[in-house]
Amino acid sequence: MASLAVALAIVLAGVVGYAVGEDQGTSTVPPAGTAIDESDFGILEEIYRILKEDFVDPEAVTPDILRIGAINGVLQALGDPHTVYIDPESYSLGIDIISGAFEGIGAQVEQDPVTGNIVVVTPFRDSPAENAGIRAGDRILAVNGESTEGWSVAQAVTVIRGPDGTDVLLGVEHLDGVSEEITITRGTIEIPTVFTREIEDATGDPVTEFSYIELQQFTDPAVVELRDELQRVVDEGDTGVILDLRRNPGGGLDATIEVADTFLDDGVILVQVDRNGQETVFRADPGGEATDIPVVLLVGPGSASGSEVLACALRDNGRATLVGEQTFGKGSVNHLRELSNDGALYVTIARWVCPNGEQIEAVGIEPDLEVLPSETDIEGNRDVQLFAAIDFLRDNLAQAAP
């Protein structure tokens, strides 16, 4: 049997590398100068031998348990919640998501970079999670009665996800501090993209002068759908667009850049800073489909990653006003490296910075107009943030009229 040190070295080295949404080719050996010397991990072998001989609970001392503990310990020491190991079982579940559907509760979760808590970024629209009362920003305190303290995101996803028709009990704390236990019946979750619907203002009157579009993920199909909707908006002569990002946890960087480019004729969209401090600047190309129409972005705790990139790009270039609540605060580039054990390692390789230099990671984006729904609003299904966006567009268009 290979030693624990050798096993750990193999897992850390990895064998096949690629980036989500960006082909990086394959690699079967670490880059030159990064090979792991087995002697560096001799202390692990020594500790394992002592535990095997002396630990009071011998059944707890197995190579698998200690190997996983060592891996997670290394990654947690980095202090980056987005650099995580995914065991083979969890990784196989993740592949189902890429194919477009999976069985579970229908929510995106992340690990809070400051507290380490498992947090709901957003429940998907009309998902079992949303219908049961899960909200963006909820802290998941327990799953089926077991505390999530010390859990990784991969561990949480593995336990929460399950077959269609089965139940899972989540203990959650909402952003208002109220805690409750919520039973959710899992279902088959279709990955959502673009939605439109008729909207009403705070008085209940139909809104006919603006279009409402909800974008729930940044994917290639979503870019096409969004462009088609925006072309319809222009053709029909609508005077404004409300783009809802409150349930959008992100997606592919290329798709995010394309969406931003749709609203911009020029200007910086995003600055990406790598481990050496080198900056890659993404700029808009002229000729977007919706470069003149007034835009309001609805944002909140469920707006993460690509949503935050789009929000600061349009805000900093004077193309949109942000209405709602502070966003989640995930501004990192995470590449996926497949491992020889059929697991994977997500590695943070760069950070994102807004065009004005503002950091996204662990901070989030503050809205231009903060609107906080009350418990009464939530219980009565009154979308006061949408009402505020409608009022804002109407007021500004009235002021701009000759």
Rounded Cα distance between 305 and 80, Å, is 15
pLDDT in tens, 306-334: 999 999 999 999 999 999 999 999 999 98
Answer yes or no: are the C-beta atoms of 372 and 382 closer than 8 Å: no
**Which residue bears the tokens 């939530």?**
378
pLDDT in tens, 237-257: 999 999 999 999 998 999 999
185-216 burial, b at 16+ Cβ within 10 Å, e below that, comes to ebbebebbbbbeeebeeeeeeebeebbbbbbb
pLDDT in tens, 261-309: 999 999 999 999 999 999 999 999 999 889 999 999 999 999 999 999 9
Q: How would you classify residue 342: left for phi > 0, otherwise alpha for psi between -120 and 50, otherwise beta?
A: left
pLDDT in tens, 175-228: 999 999 999 999 988 776 899 999 999 999 999 999 999 999 999 999 999 999
Would you please indicate which residues are annotated as catalytic (active-site) residues? 305, 316, 330
Whole-number CA gyration radius for the chain: 23
Where does CATH 3.90.226.10 sit in the chain? Answer: 194-397
Q: What is the DSSP string of 52-94?
A: HHH-S-GGG--HHHHHHHHHHHHHHHTT-TTSEEE-HHHHHHH
* pLDDT score of 185: 97
Where does CATH 2.30.42.10 sit in the chain? Answer: 91-190
Chain-centroid distance of CA 141 in Å reads 19
Rounded to the nearest 10 degrees, how much is the dihedral formed by the CA atoms of 258, 367, 137, 390? -80
pLDDT in tens, 102-136: 789 999 888 887 788 999 988 988 899 999 999 99
Rounded to the nearest 10 degrees, how much is the dihedral formed by the CA atoms of 250, 254, 258, 259? 0
What is 194-397's CATH number?
3.90.226.10
In CATH, the architecture of 91-190 is: Roll (2.30)
Single pTM value for the model: 0.78
* pLDDT score of 102: 76
